[in-house]
Amino acid sequence: MRKNIVAGNWKMNTTLAEGVGLAKDVNEALKGIDAKCDVVICVPFTHLASVAGVIDSKLGLGAENCADHVKGAYTGEVSAPMVASTGAKYVILGHSERRQYYGETSEILKTKVNLALAENLTPIFCIGEVLEERENGTFLDVVTKQIEEALFDLSAEDFGKLILAYEPVWAIGTGKTATAEQAEEMHAHIRSVIAGKYGQEVADNCSILYGGSCKPSNAKEIFEKPNVDGGLIGGAALDCASFMGIVTAF
Ligand code: 13P
């Protein structure tokens, strides 16, 4: 059966020293509790190797992106093999900020997912609608299309290695959270889309996280929904106590 997971996405925050300190704090806090979910921190590329050196195996480590090429003349890019070589096990792909600000298309994301899987990295693949699509009622179709375009060329075996994260763009960093009902509606929809392509077992085994202004105060209500298997946490992951407050919502 699928896992419950709380993953932090630090985005472009923290210096190296701050990041290593935060990772140490989360690592220590995690030692002291019997967490009912897997816990992962996704950190800037510059921090990966150092953070890998200060955390225990109980805390997962991931990158926030990887390149759509394996190696070569791509100045400034960081490849999936490079990410894996740091000890990271996860990589966020398709975050709305990457789609919106860096022009990442489904075609590009498809390549990134394959490159990540080839390195045994677990992609945390993000999908979600913008406000206009929420308001004009096309949000379910928009998310279906994002999944179909980027992921449905995968074999059932490879699809089974993914974690999905539903992040309504209008809820990211806005303090405006989807209601637990809105999250559940979308997560159930996503699971049915997966079941339609790969069958119920693959769908039932897929962890689908919610992301968007998730905080200790709202995490429990959202995580209690049957199709919500945890969270992808931005702002609240930058403070150890807040992040742990979400981890312990399970
Ligand atoms: P916030 O939790 O800051 O809204 O960010 C969510 C997010 O984008 C996680 O990937």
How confident is the model over 149-168, as pLDDT tens digits? 999 999 999 999 999 999 99
Which of 232, 238, 239 gets mutated to test ligand 1 (max ligand atoms within 8 A of its CB)? 232
pLDDT at 176 exceeding the cut of 90: no
* CA 73 – ligand 1 centroid, Å: 32
pLDDT at 109: 98
pLDDT-derived band at 1, boundaries 50, 70, 90: confident
Centre of ligand 1 from the C-alpha of residue 129, in Å:
14
Q: Cα angle at 243 between 120 and 181, to 5 degrees?
A: 90
> Contact 95/65 with Cβ under 8 angstroms?
yes
Atom of ligand 1 nearest to the CA of 236: 2
Q: Which residues of 119-153 are buried (b: 16+ CB within 10 A; e: fewer)?
A: bebbbbbbbbbeeebbeeeebbebbbebbeebbee
Ligand 1: residue of 176, 233, 243 to mutate (most ligand atoms within 8 A of CB) is 233
- Residues 11/43, Cβ–Cβ less than 8 Å: no
- What is residue 204's three-state secondary structure? helix
- Is the pLDDT score of 120 beyond 90? yes
Q: How far is the CA of 72 from the centre of ligand 1 (A)?
A: 32
Q: Are 70 and 80 in contact (CB under 8 A)?
A: yes
Strand partners, 5: 38, 230
Band the pLDDT of 97: cuts 50, 70, 90.
very high
| Secondary structure element (H or E) that encloses residue 189, with its range | helix 180-198
Give the integer Cα–Cα distance in Å for 7 and 234. 9
pLDDT > 90: what percent of the chain? 97
Question: Would you state the pLDDT for residue 173?
Answer: 86
Mean pLDDT of the chain: 97
pLDDT at 174 over 90: no
Say whether pTM exceeds 0.85.
yes
Looking at residues 110-139, what average pLDDT do you find?
98
Looking at ligand 1, which residue's alpha carbon is closest to its atom 2? 234
d(CA 4, CA 14): 27
Cite the active site residues. 95, 167
Alpha carbons 129 and 5: distance in angstroms, whole number: 22
Determine the Cα–Cα distance for residues 62 and 167; give it in Å rounded to an integer.
18
Q: pLDDT class for 205, splitting at 50, 70, 90?
A: very high
Q: How far apart are the first and last CA of the chain?
A: 16
Nearest CA to ligand 1 atom 9: 234
Ligand 1 interacting residues, C-beta cut-off 6 A = 9, 95, 167, 172-173, 211-214, 232-236
CATH class of this structure's domain 5-247: alpha beta
Cβ contact 161:122 at 8 Å:
yes
Average of per-residue pLDDT across 91-112:
98
Question: Cα(21)–Cα(145) distance, rounded to whole angstroms?
Answer: 40
